[in-house]
Structure 1
Amino acid sequence: MAVPLATALTDRIDARRVYLVGGIFASFGLLGMGFLASNFWTALLFMAINGAGLAGTYMPGLKILSDRIEAGELTRPFYTVFFGIGTGFSYLCSGWILNALGWHYVFGIISLGPLAAFLIVLFLIPPLAHEKWSGPLRLHIRDLFPVHQWKQVLENKKAAGFIFGYTAHTIELFASRSWIVAFFAFCVASSGELFFLAITTLAGIINFFGVPASILGNELALRIGRQKWVCIVMLTSAVCGIALALSTGHSWWLILSLAVVHAIFIMADSATLTAGLVISAQKNIKGAAMGLHSLMGFGGGLLGPAIFGFVLDIAGSRSSHSAWVWAYIAIVIWGVLFVLYERRKGWVEKQINERS
């Protein structure tokens, strides 16, 4: 819910200022979760504050770059990649802190991450030479939800394809990241065979494979075409996700191998989708396009883990092998449906014609 406000502000003021506020919110939410939350509702409040902080840093961080460098440089996927690096370190550090100090300190110490981001941006990113808006800062509902501009964005079929693809991508990505530790725990319980490392450590290591996957995936996309690459990756990722779910009860090396391959293909189109949107959106509505892209993406990130858990419950509970298979099917199917829909509309063929 904070995404429209954060992205609308970046069109009026320096995105650096939005990012600084987002960093404070993210850090405070984690500190509150670790040391002030006492029940479900207070935990919900502090995690919502942390989520608003994430909304105030992720896309505004990309806007900081786009306001300071040439647009062509944004085709390089390093900004998106470092989100995956942070996620991997989060798993690693959380597992170590949990074992050493308990869950309260997990949130307390992890809060140093957004605080460090705040300090980096404050001291290392110079403000824009000229502010974007000289008059009084007044935001109306049409600024937070620029429906007219969003319609213009969606009329660009190429840009709309990248936005819808990003939504399908985040459903699978966030669901997989949210449930991978629980899935590993189920695999250990069902097979009776321990993994060679703690499951939180393994989850962190697996996430790091997404870093080179995103970089190399973007380079391949530039060679064979972004839309074609996105379709290939989404279909392959769906197959890998289902294969991973079917691996329960087998040896840990097979489970980990499939988890690594799935993580690679989940991330192989991440940077491509964002870069494709930035490049294809019209310049005069690029801010609105990035806002819609982020809003749809975070919406997918919200729905993905919930869909996974809901299907897991109705398909036979956490102790059922088939329930985990259906849960994985429920999150990978969106990418398959996206590919079928966009191919029917000629998304890939249109790009080939444009290039030729």
Structure 2
Amino acid sequence: MRFKPTGYTPLMLMAQTCALLGFACYAVVLTTLQDEWYLSNLQSGLIASAFFFGYMLTVPLATALTDRVDAKKVYIAGGLSATLGLLGMSLFAYNFWSALIFMALNGAGLAGTYMPGLKILSDRIKTGELTRHIAFYTAFFGIGTGFSYLCSGWLLSALGWRYVFGFIALGPFTALMIVLVFIPALAHEKWHGPLHIRLRDIFPVDKWRLVLQDKTASGFIFGYTVHSIELFASRSWIVAFFGFCAVVSGEPFWLMATTLAGLINFFGVPASILGNEVALKVGRQNWIFFVMITSALFGVALALSTGQSWWLIIVLAIGHTIFIMADSATLTAGLVMSAQENIKGAAMGLHSLMGFGGGLLGPAIFGYVMDLTGSRETQMSWVWAYAAVVIWGVLFVLYERRRGWANKSSR
């Protein structure tokens, strides 16, 4: 694979890594806050989901703005929102409701950085290798979240949960400074004169309808949605799962649960990049089908592994991470390449909105199922919870195979 990133790509990869440092803060402190604030599993899952709720509320506006103004400006605003949300969690959060507000603000910040960051690249890169730039950009989501687990875990053990959010707030602030200082503005601004954003610009329903009428593009969007249910549920609860494994075995692993989660998360980076390369050879849709079924099997096997050897648990966790992420870049690149040029921005916005809608549902579904099946104190609760989030990928594959999606060209 011959791939030469432009000068903008390394800067945006660095910025994205910093912007995502706040992603796993709550997952790391979930059990701590659950005990301190007397939260149910559903409430714990809803706080994680609030992050994605904030994202969903903001991403239509953020993506609409990138069609009107330089995405650099949107990115800077997003970095500021994420910084304020993390500082709010550090200084002012004291119960379930306050945490919902600040986590939603943090999620809104991600909406202002993730897809606008991709738009910064697509506006400035005019080569035939754009799909590979996209693959690297989406794969670096795993780098940022991996470091988020690691840094948050170290801060939690050394200083306490409020310092986790306080120090990690430097991450999105650094990201906005990288973009502000090192990414040049577009030579020709997209919009001149007063900027009027109408409701139909924020929620371009007519354009979204056109996107969904394209069976190829809509398949990638719905695939990304079910992919996100499993991905973000797993990332929100994986630290708590490792804690449960330690209790059951009576022998904690020699690495902290947060460090272990962070290191395992890094396996998703090459999986996403290499998965996109494999998909280019075997067909995007066929690759997505194989990956989703395999990921579901690994997820259930991981939940069943509690009480077994730590090395078996780790192998299964790595396998689950690899196959969750192996179709991530493929789904996003497939949408970007298949969407019509005149509605590409709206298609990317809907893709992101639906994907993080899955992220909103995943952690809450996971926690709710655990409350229904015996809390997080029994193995079967974890098995049912994992099954409840991986089943969507299986249903998607069954539906799309019947629809013949794999026989359609993704251009």
TM-score clears 0.5 = yes
CA apart distance, 1:271: 0.4
| Structure 2 stretches lacking a partner, 5+ long | 1-56
Residue in 2 that maps onto 1:175: 233
CA RMSD, Structure 1 to Structure 2 (Å): 1.2
After TM superposition, where is structure 1 displaced by more than 4 Å over at least 4 residues in a row?
Answer: none
Q: Equivalents in 1 of 2:168, 2:366: separation in Å?
A: 26
Moved more, 232-241 or 133-142: 133-142
Q: Equivalents in 2 of 1:23, 1:319: separation in Å?
A: 38
Q: Equivalents in 1 of 2:90, 2:187: separation in Å?
A: 39
For residue 45 of structure 1, the aligned residue among 98, 101, 113 is 101
Q: TM-score, with normalisation over the residues of structure 1?
A: 0.97
| Structure 1 stretches lacking a partner, 5+ long | none
For residue 373 of structure 2, the aligned residue among 315, 330, 334 is 315
1:53-92 equivalent positions in 2, closer than 5 A: 53-70=109-126, 72-76=128-132, 77-92=135-150
Q: Is it true that 1:196 corresponds to 2:250 in the alignment? A: no
Q: Equivalents in 2 of 1:87, 1:168: separation in Å?
A: 20
Change (3 A) 1:271 1:154: same
For residue 341 of structure 1, the aligned residue among 393, 396, 399 is 399
Residue in 1 that maps onto 2:388: 330
CA apart distance, 1:71: 6.4
For residue 20 of structure 1, the aligned residue among 60, 76, 86 is 76
For residue 111 of structure 1, the aligned residue among 162, 169, 179 is 169
Q: Equivalents in 2 of 1:110, 1:158: separation in Å?
A: 39
For residue 299 of structure 2, the aligned residue among 241, 257, 261 is 241
Residue in 1 that maps onto 2:351: 293
Judge conservation of contact 1:312–1:327 (CA < 8 Å) in 2: yes
Deviations 1:61-110 (A, max 9, x none): 11111111126433111101111101000100111111111111100111
Judge conservation of contact 1:149–1:288 (CA < 8 Å) in 2: yes
Deviations 1:287-312 (A, max 9, x none): 00000001001101111111111111
For residue 311 of structure 2, the aligned residue among 240, 250, 253 is 253
Moved more, 259-268 or 37-46: 37-46
Q: Equivalents in 2 of 1:40, 1:186: separation in Å?
A: 23
Q: Equivalents in 2 of 1:45, 1:308: separation in Å?
A: 21
Residue in 2 that maps onto 1:187: 245
Residue in 1 that maps onto 2:289: 231
Residue in 2 that maps onto 1:132: 190
Q: Is it true that 1:36 corresponds to 2:81 in the alignment? A: no
Residue in 2 that maps onto 1:302: 360
Q: TM-score, with normalisation over the residues of structure 2?
A: 0.84
Q: Equivalents in 1 of 2:122, 2:180: separation in Å?
A: 18
Q: Equivalents in 2 of 1:213, 1:122: separation in Å?
A: 31
CA apart distance, 1:42: 2.6
One-letter amino acid of the structure 2 residue matched with residue 264 of structure 1: I
One-letter amino acid of the structure 1 residue matched with residue 401 of structure 2: R
Identity in percent: 73
Q: Equivalents in 1 of 2:270, 2:408: separation in Å?
A: 29
For residue 327 of structure 2, the aligned residue among 269, 277, 284 is 269
CA apart distance, 1:323: 1.1
Q: Equivalents in 2 of 1:38, 1:328: separation in Å?
A: 29
